[in-house]
Structures are given as C-alpha cells and as structure tokens.
A and B are shown apart, each in its own frame.
Chain A
Amino acid sequence: MALLEVKDLNVHYGMIHALKDVSFHVEKGEIVALIGANGAGKTTTLHTVTGLIEASAGSIIYKDQDVTKLPGHKLVPLGMAHVPEGRRVFADMTVLQNLKLGAYTRKNKAEIEESLENVYKRFPRLKERKNQVAGTLSGGEQQMLAMGRALMSKPEIILMDEPSMGLSPILVNEIFDIIKEVNKSGTTVLLVEQNARKALSIADRAYVLETGRVVLDGDAKELMNNEQIRKAYLGE
C-alpha cells in the first residue's frame, strides 16, 4: 500500500473546476514531483492533500487512513508536513521562534531539541541567524526557514510547494541538494515545481498536471527524455 494515495480528486472554487479526477500515489521513501505550468492546479492539489481546502469528490488515503475530510492541523501529528508556496514564515517572530512553532504538535522536549540540532546542521545559516526576525531574512533564507520549520515536526512525508521560486540558480541547487539529503535520511517527498528540469533531476517519478488534469506520469528519467515534456517544460 502506498504511503499516500490520491484517487479521482475533484476541487471546485465556486464555479471554477480546478482539479478534475486527479489521481496519484507516493510510495514510502520516494521523491515524487508534480510539475505543470502556472495555474495547472499544483498548489490546489497540495492544499487539498494537506487539508487546507476541501475536495468536492475523490479520496485521499494516507498511511491506510482516509484523511479526505481531515482538517490541516490534524495531519501534522500524523507525520505530514507542508512547506507552503511563497515562503510563508512568521515574519514578526525570530528564526528560533519559527522553528519552535514547527514542533508545535510534539511534546517531548529532548526530542524537539534534537530535531532543532538536526535542522541547524542542515541549515547552518539558520543557526547563525537564530535570533533574527524572520521577515528580515533574504528570500533564500526564508525558504530554508520554511523547510526547517516543516522538518521540526519530524515528518514522514514532506510536501513542498515550489521551493525554487524566485531563487538564484546557486541557491536552487543548494535547496535541491538539501531536499535530496532529507529524502536520503528517510523522509518521503512530494515536490511541486514549475522548474521541471530541476524537479525531474532529483525525483524518482513524476506527474504532469495540465489545467487540472494529470496528463502524463512515469519514471522521472524517462519523462526527462520525453519529446512532449522537452518541448513544453524543458524549453528545448
């Protein structure tokens, strides 16, 4: 059984039919990429899976449990973390306060401290800036903070929405290296990206969304060589 199984998901925003029968699955230990152009429905998919939006039809099974109707805050204790689009950090709080809030649903102080050390090891820049107000961090640092905060909940699966958005190529490489490391240390990753080349380079499998539908899926390496993908998403 897959760790996360999404079946025939439909989402409406009023009259707009944003997702049409979207199905995909993520196996334990994988990196799965969800790629697509602006407005394809990537964020909508993530928000529905993480319980921020309600689906009008379809089901979401996570760890053999039907979580379709579960509100977002109840998914975090089940080991699902979400790094929202656009670096949503708590701008008025310090880096450390942001990270501590990431462990909001956890109780064990010693374990939280251990996670904090791990996050600092992964993002040394956050440690240097732990008392800086998050709103004054650079874009790349805010992205790191958003990822660090998600890791503080000790997730089994982490869902990331466009971590590369607005970052310089060097920083994008840095962030993607970290995503790979996070995955190697045992966390499953569902990665939403417009930067298809980057996403496919680290993913095991990928799904292509177009106007609310999955139009293509398969092995990431194969998709990288797919004529259609090369034209539409890799700009060749």
Chain B
Amino acid sequence: MKKLTKQQKSNLITLAMVVCFYLICEIFIRTGLMSSHLKGLLVPLTYYAIAAVGLNLCVGILGELSLGHAGFMCIGAFSSSIFSVMTRDALPTVPRFILAFIIGVAMTALLGFLIGIPVLRLNGDYLAIVTLAFGEIIKNILNAVYMGVDDKGLHLSLKDAASMGLDASTGKKIINGAMGITGTPSDSNFTIAIIILLVSLIIVQNLVQSRDGRAIMSIRDNRIAAESTGINVTKYKMLAFTISAAIAGAAGVLFSHNISTLTAQGIYFGYNASIMLLVYVVLGGIGNIRGSVIAAMILYVLPELLRGMDKYRMLIYSIVLIVMMLFNWSPKAIEFRQNHLSKFSKRFRKEAAR
C-alpha cells in the first residue's frame, strides 16, 4: 500500500467518523432506542453539516467572507422543489430526486457564479455585503412570488394566486406566495443525506489537496504574491466560490425534500441563518473541514435537545459555544489534542502491524 500523507490520513479519519456516526445512529434506530424527536433531527443536522462544509470552503480555504449561504440553500431548496412538485406524478422517485438534486445544485452554482463575476474581481470585503443582500433579496422575492402550471404552460404573478390565471381544471399551484411550496415529495432521508455529506467532504478534501487547492489557499495567504507567481486569482476565486455555493445548494435540496411545506422564512434562509452557519464554521475552526461537520452537528442538535430546559437553554448553549471556542483555539488545547491523537494513532498503527 502506498504511504499516506498526514493530510490524507486526516481526511480518511473525517470520512470514517461520518460513517461511524451513521452506523451508530442506524443501530439506535433499528433497535428502537432513538426517540422520534431525535430521529427527526438527523436529516437537518446532516444538511447543516453539508452547508457548513460548503461555507468553510469559502471562508476558510478561499478566505472570503460570505453572509449569504442560507440564501444559496434557499435557491437549492426552491429550484429542486419546483421540479419535484411538477414531476411528482410523472416520474418515479429515484430519477425524480436525482434530477431534482442536479437542478438544485446547478441552479445554485449558476447563481453563485453570477454573483461572483462582479464581486470577486474586487479586493476587499465586498463579498460579505453582496452575499448578505443577495440572501435577503432571494428570500423576499420567494415570499412574494406566485407560480403555477396548467396545460398552457407556466404562470407567474407577484400579486396573488388568482391573478396567475390558472386553468381551473388542469392548473396546479406550485409556489403560493408566502405560503411557499406544499407537497414536495419527502424523497430525502438520513442515508441519502449522509451520502451527500460524504461526497461533499471528498470533493472539498480533494480540492484542498490538489494543485488548484494550493492556488486557492495561496490567494488567501497573499493575493499579490499569488498573482505574481502566475496564479489566475479571479479564476480560482470563482472556482472555489461556485463550488462552495453549490454545496450549500445541495444542503438546500435535502432541506426541501425533508419537509412537506417549504416557505422562505427568515429563520431558515435569512441572514440570521447565514450567520448561524458562520458560527458553525468559526467554532469548528476556520479552514478545518472536519471541525465544521462536528460543530454543525453538535450546535444544531444541542438547542433542540435543550428545549425542555426552557430558561437555561440559551445559557447552556452559550457555555457550550465558549467551551468549543477554547477547545479549538487555545494553544494548550491544540497541543494536548496533537499529543493525544498522535499517541492514539501510533498505538493504532502498532496494533495494525501485529
């Protein structure tokens, strides 16, 4: 076997952790040990982990701040849902979801690309401002739009459902203004979500290790030096940002195919949701992909589990945030973790050799 580099080992550990997490959850589900409340959290925590991985590519690897990743999730959610609702009766589940997924991801990638063209050529924190505005605009448009189909084709309106002029017998409402999209088939499940998380991780890990990835990280480190070593700065910024948006879009597809009514509410797709994603990334460690997964999972599940504690909920949540911060960033903790983990892996290797 070829000798693995430290980075490759670390990547494999991340993937293995996700698989273990999946298997443990499956065992708990099969044996009936998992409450239905907790079961209901599995898909969301996985898609938030996916979105956090996508955002970390933008913030940690590329070094550009985005405050609109919830907006990208929104694009992925709505575009895929529109497709699924329209083809609900025409297509069987598997090809329908695959196509919906491709459409959701492609639409998000396209929008990420279009936003990137004017913004990423500039230097400075323009991306944060533009993505923040973008997310809000998307959310507000989707709250106002009415869309339906009948045998004459697609109907759109910004006023109300009646003004779409849908044919009474063949017409079908798709987006009902602020009431959103009802009846998206619940095609996503925990297994699919985990597979998409694994694929996203593999994509980001491979990108980081590739020549392209080194170019992207060199831009983060020093733009002028990157340009003067012959790296096409704009191209690589666009590449990383588009992939990052597309991954958030994939999370959005899972989102909308996991709930029956999809609405463009602020708590899911507004700037506060984008900031929540940013919190996952920062607390998991900027540029640390594995950290994003762990932080997203813990920080998503925790407030849900603490619902019973009522007034102490936010207190405990805040304490956990602080503890995670210390664990991730204090030099002593980093040292401890490195020693501890290296001992562990040495022992592991010895045992494997025996």
Contact = CB atoms under 8 A, between A and B. Distances in A.
Interface residue tally on A, bucketed by range: 20 to 34
Given A93-B217, A101-B214, A104-B215, A88 B222 contact: yes
Contacts of B231: 73, 101, 104
A90 B218 CA distance: 6
Given A90-B221, A90-B222, A149 B229 contact: yes
B193 interface: no
B105 to A, nearest CB: 29
Contacts, number: 69
Interface stretch (A75-83, A180-188, A189-197, A226-234): A75-83
Contacts of A90: 217-218, 221-222, 225-226
Interface string A51-77: 110000000000000000001111111
Interface in B197-214: 211, 214
A92 B221 contact: yes
A98 to B, nearest CB: 9
A41 interface: no
Contacts of A105: 229-230
A212 interface: no
B232 interface: yes
A84 interface: yes
A102 interface: yes
A8 to B, nearest CB: 24
A220 interface: no
A10 interface: no
Interface residues of chain B: helix, strand, loop or mixed (majority): helix
A170 to B, nearest CB: 26
A102 B222 contact: no
B43 interface: no
Given A89-B222, A90-B222, A91-B222, A72 B228 contact: yes
A52 B233 CA distance: 11
Given A97-B214, A101-B214, A104-B215, A73 B221 contact: no
B233 A73 contact: yes
Contacts of A164: none
B224 interface: yes
B227 A52 contact: yes
Interface centre among B222, B227, B229, B232 (most CB of A within 10 A): B229
A45 interface: no
B230 A84 contact: no
A48 interface: no
Given A89-B222, A91-B221, A73 B214 contact: no
A83 B227 CA distance: 11
Interface centre among A72, A83, A146 (most CB of B within 10 A): A72
Interface of B: 211, 214-215, 217-218, 220-222, 224-233
A-B CB proximity, top 4 nearest: A76-B230, A88-B225, A105-B230, A90-B221
7 contacts: A50-B228, A71-B232, A74-B230, A84-B224, A88-B224, A90-B222, A104-B229
